[in-house]
Structure 1
Amino acid sequence: MLEEVPALSYGDPDNRNMLIQGDNLEALKALIPFYAGQVKCIYIDPPYNTRSAFSHYDDNLEHSIWLSMMYPRLELLRELLSEDGSIWVSIDDNEAHYLKVMMDEVFGRGNFVANVLWQKRTSPDARIQLGGAHDHIMVYAKSAEKVVFRKLTISPEQAKNFKNPDDDPRGPWASADFTAQGWRPNQMYKLRSPSGHEFEPPPGRCWGNVESEYKRLLHEGRMWFGKDGTARPRVKNYLSETEGISSWSWWTNSEVGHNQEAKKEINVLFGADDAFDTPKPERLLSRVFEIATDNGDLILDSFLGSGTTAAVAHKMNRRYIGIEMGDHAQTHCQTRLCKVVDGEQGGISKAVDWQGGGGFRFCKLGEPVFDAYGKLNHDIKFAALAAHIWYAETKTPLAKSADSPLLGMYDGTAYYLLYNGILGDRRPQGGNVLTSRVLAELPGLGDHAGPVTIYGESCRLGPSRLAEHNITFKQIPYDVKAL
């Protein structure tokens, strides 16, 4: 169960952002009943297992231990991901290929999208004969058929590639090849340019579209044959009509930043003596979120580190959940997000015109549903158990506040929970035990004709009475299953 720490929350209290301090495995388990299938984008930057020791992370795990650490967390992250969502995992060469195999198993090999290469350095390391210049970002979809990636906004530098040498009234344009790979019978025609030159597709290729579409483009002045009209045809793409450009899997440091840039950002925030060891530049996370999310989408980072993911998500008007263990959840992440809310101007702030605002809730892990021995925790509150049971039964998050024994209806079945005196009386006859009087008081039962599942401490009704009302009774704690 997650419990808010109001003294560490900050900004607008009416926000839906969350910073969680605690072990990320337990935090992910606590999030499942409330957020399963709702996260649009997951970005994580787990320890790289580089056999080095960082002041904020133990990054010296044995290979098998590292894999064992990652696997259950990836399984939980998959449950939290929406059907049209994606997960992006930063990693270096030490574990990248093992991570790829593991993610193939968890997410399905057919849901692999790309291995993005981020050029993290600005120059070679003279101490190494063949120095690594890049990190990997493994990208997987929850469902390759449903995920949608957005085009990147054209930068001022890219806009310079659009010219208007023929004074086209539509404005600047850039030309693209009007051929395609392969052989398609209806795209193998001979075409004629306005200057009378005839062209056929080059060997091994066909034209980029059928002849009727070529004639339409030609009629509208959207074809280009070079300044003298004799060059092989190309199609014009106008700056005014361009929605953006598709990203490819090679991200240069000039586009999305590098290690030195990230270090400078973090030094400004925390000072050189208390900076995080391996931060990512804000521009890198901005690129991920521009491709994978829209305004208001939910982003999750369960290895929050110095808080970059949450800071960038906040500035880009995305919702977020960040998880970090240890004291630096407060000293780094909470401190950084307070500065973001106050309008700090580092990183991408000027690029996105960030002026401050919003807020976040700071939470810690409360009592778990099950204790260390796998038994139901006697101190668990009604709302936490209700969310747990609802998800265990329906595999969907509990959408409403759990303040009634009627948890909701799902697929024709009504689900009830009798626990912790929800009906106002802790005595057996007062609500935790299914009796005739309790049955009569259950809200909505009289209007429901379908099956009913009731969780309670015990049942005083016989089998015939339960069958009469189409009730399946499940006893707490024995019938409460772990997720």
Structure 2
Amino acid sequence: MIKKQKLELTWIGKEHRPKLEPRILLEEPDKSCHAAHRVTDRDLFDNRLIHGDNLLALKALEQDFAGKVKCIYIDPPFNTQQAFEHYDDSTEHSDWLRLIRDRAVILHRLLATEGTLFVHIDDNELGYLTVLLDEIFGRGNRVAIVTFKQGSATGHKSINPGCVSTTNFILIYAKKKASWTPNRVFTARERDDRYGQFIENIEAPFEQWTFTTLMKAFAGHMGLSDKDARALAKSEPEKIDDFVVKHAHRVIRTARPSYDGVSAEARRLIDESKRSKERILKLQRDGYSDIYLKGGERLLFYSDKLKSIDGKFVAGEPLTTLWDDVLSNNLHAEGAVEFPKSKKPEALIKRVLDLATNPGDLVLDSFLGSGTTAAVAHKMGRRWIGIELGEHCETHCLPRLKKVVDGADPGGITEAVGWKGGGGFRYYRLAPSLLLRDKWDQLVINPEYNAPMLAEAVCKLEGFTYAPSDTVYWQQGHSTEQDFIYTTTANLSHAQLQQLSDEVGPERSLLVVCSAFRGRKEGYSNLTVKKIPKAVLTRCEWGKDDYSLKVENLPQAPAKPGQMSLFDDDGGAGK
């Protein structure tokens, strides 16, 4: 039998897939930020800024956010073999592929069915990254490869021989292309000077319209001679551009219609127009612009080209895969933070979110850098999660986002979206590993973990939702309404397990995770009993179960008042 093969990218170490410890996230309230007062009813406060390794942070988010993220934008290191001020971009190639693969797999799980992934990269790894993402997302879900004009062939670049690199690329993938419903986005373009005629008497019935040149109409409007009007249009083109926009319903050009591409009624009208060259004919249409014809040619109105972009009516065209109108120069002031050679323009992220999201949607950036994605998402009324490992999470992202919340960031897209401040975010750090080795090379529970942290960590390890009850001590989390989990560092006796079993009752079940137990764990129909080492180690990167574990100085959760402590027989902290 011939083994079925598939086309894939391979590299040294590809088969190594680390088992990740699902860490918990620890909020630091003193660094979280909320507006002093609600600005609008749509203010969003539960955004998350996370400081820590993005792979572990993504794993920490997976349980709560799998299938819920509408848009992911990432700008990973380009692996250019250079060292920059805020990060080292010189990873060995196979390591870079593995690092990207491990993160992309979790990002795929986090995306909603109708979600979109944007990955910003340069040509150094573009080909490899495309094949890698094709493998994870499916080649059929690759939407586009956008060419993004990063700069111009000026300065030191212009003296180099060969081709000057001025572009980056953005790979766009849908989670499921059949469910993908992007928004219609337009980009501003220079005025189309083919529209050079002007209707003098637009108020008259269309059969009586008379025409002049655009320049004569502009000269009359400005009170100038034709010669002076042409000079003004050349020296200050924004003046004639503004005139055209204000009178767009009167500015026209003619074009020969596609005879085979129109309806039978339109063809009949075209034939009639060719026979009566001086008459203006009209075909009224429901849901579309009316067709006006003269001499067999159609009158095209500049008003049909205008689109509202960032609150202004300008000539627009549908978004293409060439983004050459959002340059990355003059960004030093955006967000009031310096991030040389790494900061992306807010206008670029706005375009991404315009294309793939609506207000209230959840946006994720796991390579947050200087905080641009979070800042733009916040200003646009999207919910957001940002993850950053470097120290600039606190030196750049945190102050920048606080300014956004306070309405004290006037740059970037602030004016375009009318941002005045509001909302808030919570600041988290990634908890350290639950287990560490002591000086005798034995695994011990990290002393930084108190009892609630341990309970939350084990909930995440076991796939339970952490939701401690105020009244029932053993209900620390649940997977269903009848399925609970209880974590303790005590050594449980047969009597204690029996008491737990009696309290849980026959209609519910309980997973008990403890340091040790005496008696048979199978003797209780409604209990499943595990030792902490096995519960932790089987789901972490160590991948072995045969380590000894010491529990040192970990606070115990007290028993419910009025009840016998589960720790009485062993002298636990419940006394």
TM-score range, shorter chain: 0.7 to 0.9
Match of 1:126 among 158, 162, 171: 158
Tell me the secondary structure at the aligned position of residue 6 of structure 1.
Answer: coil
Deviations 1:288-327 (A, max 9, x none): 0111111111111111111111111111111111111122
Paired with 1:239 and 1:438, the residues of 2 have a C-alpha distance of 72
Task: State the superposition RMSD in angstroms.
Answer: 4.3
Q: Does 1:415 align with 2:483?
A: yes
Paired with 1:176 and 1:461, the residues of 2 have a C-alpha distance of 88
Q: Does 1:280 align with 2:353?
A: no
Contact 2:27 2:428 in 1 (8 A): yes
Alignment of 1:68-467 (within 5 A): 68-124=98-154, 125-128=157-160, 129-152=162-185, 172=249, 192-194=267-269, 196-197=271-272, 220=286, 222=288, 227-228=293-294, 230-231=296-297, 246-253=318-325, 257-265=326-334, 269-270=336-337, 274-343=338-407, 344-369=409-434, 377=445, 379=449, 381-390=454-463, 398=465, 401-403=467-469, 405=475, 407-408=477-478, 414-420=482-488, 428=492, 435-442=497-504, 446-447=506-507, 452=509, 454-457=511-514, 466=525
CA shift in 2, pair 1:348/1:9, >3 Å: same
Give the aligned length.
430
Paired with 1:299 and 1:139, the residues of 2 have a C-alpha distance of 15
Paired with 1:440 and 1:151, the residues of 2 have a C-alpha distance of 60
Aligned AA (1:230): G
Aligned AA (2:52): G
Q: Does 1:63 align with 2:136?
A: no
Deviations 1:413-446 (A, max 9, x none): 943212138xxxx56269xx9733212323xx55
Contact 1:194 1:229 in 2 (8 A): no
Paired with 1:307 and 1:476, the residues of 2 have a C-alpha distance of 38
Aligned to 1:4: 27
CA shift in 2, pair 1:324/1:409, >3 Å: closer
User: 1:408, CA displacement in angstroms?
Assistant: 4.0
TM-score (norm 1): 0.75
Aligned AA (1:482): R
Contact 2:142 2:174 in 1 (8 A): yes
Paired with 2:346 and 2:69, the residues of 1 have a C-alpha distance of 20
Aligned AA (1:440): D
Paired with 1:309 and 1:117, the residues of 2 have a C-alpha distance of 19
Tell me the secondary structure at the aligned position of residue 79 of structure 1.
Answer: helix
Contact 2:521 2:529 in 1 (8 A): no
Aligned AA (1:78): H
Paired with 2:272 and 2:420, the residues of 1 have a C-alpha distance of 57
Deviations 1:157-210 (A, max 9, x none): 7899999968799x959999987999xxxx9979632254599xxxxxxxxxxx
Contact 1:307 1:337 in 2 (8 A): yes
Contact 2:189 2:317 in 1 (8 A): no
Aligned AA (1:43): Y
Tell me the secondary structure at the aligned position of residue 462 of structure 2.
Answer: helix
Contact 1:22 1:365 in 2 (8 A): yes
Contact 2:71 2:356 in 1 (8 A): yes
Tell me the secondary structure at the aligned position of residue 100 of structure 1.
Answer: helix
Paired with 1:55 and 1:158, the residues of 2 have a C-alpha distance of 41
Contact 1:42 1:86 in 2 (8 A): yes
Aligned AA (2:497): T
Tell me the secondary structure at the aligned position of residue 478 of structure 1.
Answer: helix
5+ residue gaps, structure 1: 200-216, 392-397
TM-score (norm 2): 0.64
CA shift in 2, pair 1:307/1:227, >3 Å: same
Q: Does 1:478 align with 2:534?
A: yes
Paired with 2:436 and 2:67, the residues of 1 have a C-alpha distance of 26
Paired with 1:297 and 1:356, the residues of 2 have a C-alpha distance of 18
Indicate the structure (1 or 2) with the bigger Cα radius of gyration: 2
Paired with 1:453 and 1:178, the residues of 2 have a C-alpha distance of 74
Tell me the secondary structure at the aligned position of residue 396 of structure 2.
Answer: helix
Contact 2:406 2:422 in 1 (8 A): yes
User: 1:354, CA displacement in angstroms?
Assistant: 0.9
User: 1:219, CA displacement in angstroms?
Assistant: 5.5
CA shift in 2, pair 1:439/1:229, >3 Å: farther
Tell me the secondary structure at the aligned position of residue 131 of structure 1.
Answer: coil
Tell me the secondary structure at the aligned position of residue 329 of structure 2.
Answer: helix
CA shift in 2, pair 1:156/1:249, >3 Å: closer
User: 1:367, CA displacement in angstroms?
Assistant: 3.2
CA shift in 2, pair 1:154/1:67, >3 Å: closer
Paired with 1:195 and 1:107, the residues of 2 have a C-alpha distance of 49
User: 1:245, CA displacement in angstroms?
Assistant: 7.0
Aligned to 2:239: none
CA shift in 2, pair 1:414/1:143, >3 Å: farther
Which is worse superposed, 283-292 or 337-346? 337-346
Deviations 1:13-62 (A, max 9, x none): 98211111111112112211222221111111111111221010101222
Which is worse superposed, 91-100 or 401-410? 401-410
5+ residue gaps, structure 2: 1-23, 37-43, 207-247, 275-282, 310-315, 541-575
Among all aligned residue pairs of Structure 1 and Structure 2, give the percentage whose two residues are the same amino acid: 34
